[in-house]
């Protein structure tokens, strides 16, 4: 049966960086995908005024939505102001109920950025309420269980103890690079600047091919690190010979909400392993 995947990130590029490989796998099956950004991205620049930046980043998400064939929802909270208020809770609850996801993935609870952590908490806060009809009665409550998972925590250097799944994205990597490169304001302006790169010495390339190479070089190592961290799991899921060869991966970890990703439910939500 068709499944529906919702990725909930804090900023308009988080879902793309952390989970667009999984989104592509879902789209290959003609399953539906929604990305949600809890904030509008208006602090992600050192020069561009905030309103103009939010509008530009919205257009970047639209380019990704067109490319992947997904829905991309950007909420209008300012960056650095994602917080588990009732207002943000009810907004997210309505967005998720309308989409009726089977699987929801969000930031790990231990993530480094407060917007990421509070996004994670907001997803946890609504996880049970999805099924409670008296809560936000204007949007029908769900009559099915929604499975919850975290992305691998951004800076974690170990595989977590909880149940996890890792997916091979080698064949999707070039396309994932193209997805990430759509976030031009981030990849070629803000992130090099905030990471302290001397833009006059090492200017990000201007041409399309150079830009894809630039993203590949900067984003590839993390996808390879995830494959190495989850190597044992990849070998279990894909068999030892393929498992050992996988170079780039994404990882999904059980979230301690009702209902969590587990041995009982992962195969129907991740039917990519064969066997």
DSSP 122-187: HHHHHHTGGG-TTSSTTSPPPSS--EEEEEPPTT--S--SS-EEEEE-GGGHHHHHHHHHT-HHII
- Give the tokens for residue 36: 């949600």
For position 17 contacting Zn ion by CB under 5 A, the verdict is no
Other beta carbons within 10 angstroms of residue 134's beta carbon come to 7
For position 159 contacting Zn ion by CB under 5 A, the verdict is no
- Give the tokens for residue 225: 């690190």
Q: Name which position in 14, 60, 189, 250 contacts Zn ion (CB under 5 A).
A: 14
CB nearer to Zn ion: give 119 or 260.
119
Query: How far is Cα 208 from Cα 214, in angstroms, rounded to an integer?
Result: 10
For position 11 contacting Zn ion by CB under 5 A, the verdict is yes
CB nearer to Zn ion: give 80 or 208.
80
Q: Name which position in 5, 8, 10, 126 contacts Zn ion (CB under 5 A).
A: 10
Q: How far is the CB of 41 from Zn ion (least distance, A)?
A: 9
CB nearer to Zn ion: give 76 or 228.
76
For position 105 contacting Zn ion by CB under 5 A, the verdict is no
Helix/strand/coil for 4: strand
Query: How far is Cα 194 from Cα 6, in angstroms, rounded to an integer?
Result: 29
Q: Which stretch binds Zn ion (CB under 5 A): 5-13, 23-31, 43-51, 230-238?
A: 5-13
Binding stretches for Zn ion (CB under 5 A): 10-11, 14
């Amino acid at each position: 049966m068709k499944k529906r995947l919702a990725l909930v990130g804090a900023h308009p590029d988080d879902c793309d960086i952390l989970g667009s490989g999984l989104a592509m796998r879902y789209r290959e099956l003609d399953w539906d995908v929604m990305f949600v950004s809890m904030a509008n991205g208006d602090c992600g620049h050192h020069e561009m005024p905030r309103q103009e930046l939010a509008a530009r980043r919205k257009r970047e998400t639209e380019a990704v939505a067109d490319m992947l064939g997904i829905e991309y929802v950007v909420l209008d909270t300012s960056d650095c102001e994602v917080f588990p208020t009732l207002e943000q809770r009810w907004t997210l609850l309505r967005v998720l109920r309308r989409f009726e996801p089977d699987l929801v993935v969000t930031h790990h609870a231990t993530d480094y950025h407060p917007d990421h952590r509070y996004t994670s908490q907001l997803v946890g806060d609504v996880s049970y309420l999805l099924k409670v009809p008296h809560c936000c009665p204007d949007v029908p409550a769900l009559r099915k269980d929604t499975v919850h998972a975290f992305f691998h925590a951004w800076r974690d250097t170990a595989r977590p103890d909880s149940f996890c799944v890792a997916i091979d994205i080698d064949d999707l990597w070039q396309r994932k690079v193209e997805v990430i490169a759509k976030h031009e304001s981030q990849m070629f302006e803000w992130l090099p600047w905030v990471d302290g790169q001397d833009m006059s010495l090492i200017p990000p390339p201007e041409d399309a091919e150079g830009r894809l190479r630039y993203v590949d070089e900067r984003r590839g190592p993390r996808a390879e690190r995830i494959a190495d961290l989850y190597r044992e799991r990849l070998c279990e899921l894909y068999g030892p010979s393929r498992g050992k060869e996988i170079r780039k991966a994404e990882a999904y970890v059980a979230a301690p909400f009702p209902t969590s990703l587990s041995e009982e439910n992962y195969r129907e939500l991740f039917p990519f392993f064969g066997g």
